[in-house]
Amino acid sequence: SRSLTVNNVVKEYVAGTQVLKGISFEVSGRSTVAIIGPSGTGKSTLLRCINRLIEPTGGEILIAGRDITKLSGRELRQARHYIGMVFQEFNLVERLSVIENVLCGRLGFTSVWRAWLRKYHQEDIDRAFELIEKVGLGDFATARADSLSGGQRQRVGIARAVMQNPDIIMADEPTSSLDPKTSVEIMELLNEFSADQDIPLLINIHDVNLAKRFADRIIGMSEGHVVFDGKPEELKDEH
């Protein structure tokens, strides 16, 4: 089933200094989990461990039951596809169209051209169009990414993440580059997809009000520890 298990994860960038001091939690099914906490507390480090841009020093991370902590090479690249990433700065290929961005996933520019040499299956193309429609960009499928507004770009980012049929969607500050009204629309869209496709959603978010409004669970971090894990309404104001 679609789930993420983080079990006693420790990260040291410098030997002897733990930035993550034993993080544990589990997420499954349709749920929106917001990670909040002061800056420098280890939130990005945690996300980077989960999507294996970096290797945790200790502990286990299971995605749909598969331990991804000790993979390398081809297996590691494969495992990154279990996670649909949504980024603060969208990370689109600016010179390509919306449909190309959604089809090509989060490949680097060279990979995109390599990917174009392969033929897309019609069913993938159909699914990409369907997702573009769902995120409200039906009229923009062939528009270039660099002609879109920030909110529209993030909609492409969401379609791209869902396109890879992930076991979990992770969003790293997905609204920090957007105005308040657009931020709310993007959070609503993320929640819709999570509910619709039954995919857990893990969001690193600095806006506590947005977290309280859209998450059904909040994980509060401080100095490398989980200091709160519960419903938004249980969160006291000092967090």
Site of interaction with ligand ADP (CB under 6 A): 13, 19, 37, 39-45, 51, 53, 80, 85, 91, 106-108, 110-111
Least distance to ligand ADP, CB of residue 13, Å: 3
DSSP state of 144: B
Name the residue with the smallest CB distance to ligand ADP.
Answer: 108
The answer to whether the CB of 68 falls within 8 A of the CB of 61 is yes
Residue in this structure with the two tokens 């040499």, named with its chain if needed: 117
Shortest Cβ 187–ligand ADP spacing (Å)? 19
Cα distances from 143 to residues 85, 147, 159, in angstroms, run: 22, 7, 15
- Residue recorded with tokens 């396109």: 163
Q: How far is the CB of 110 from ligand ADP (least distance, A)?
A: 6
Q: Please, which residue, 53 or 125, has the CB nearer to ligand ADP?
A: 53
Complex with ligand ADP: residue 109 or 138, whichever CB lies closer: 109
Name the phi and psi angles at 137, rounded to 5.
-115, 25
Rounded Cα–Cα distance for residues 230 and 156 (Å): 31
* Closest to 59 measured CA to CA, from 25, 14, 15: 25
Shortest spacing between CB 230 and ligand ADP, in angstroms = 19
In this complex, which beta carbon is closest to ligand ADP, that of residue 42 or of residue 220? 42
Measured from the CB atom, the residue of 67 and 138 that comes closer to ligand ADP is 67
Min CB(139)–ligand ADP separation in Å: 28
CB of 99 to ligand ADP, least distance (A): 19
Tell me the Cα Rg of the chain: 18
Q: Distance between CA atoms of 50 and 29, rounded to whole angstroms?
A: 17
Q: Which is nearer to ligand ADP, 44 or 182 (CB)?
A: 44
What is the SS3 assignment for 117? helix
Q: What span, in angstroms and rounded, lies between the C-alpha atoms of 117 and 85?
A: 24
> Nearer Cβ to ligand ADP, position 148 or 161?
161
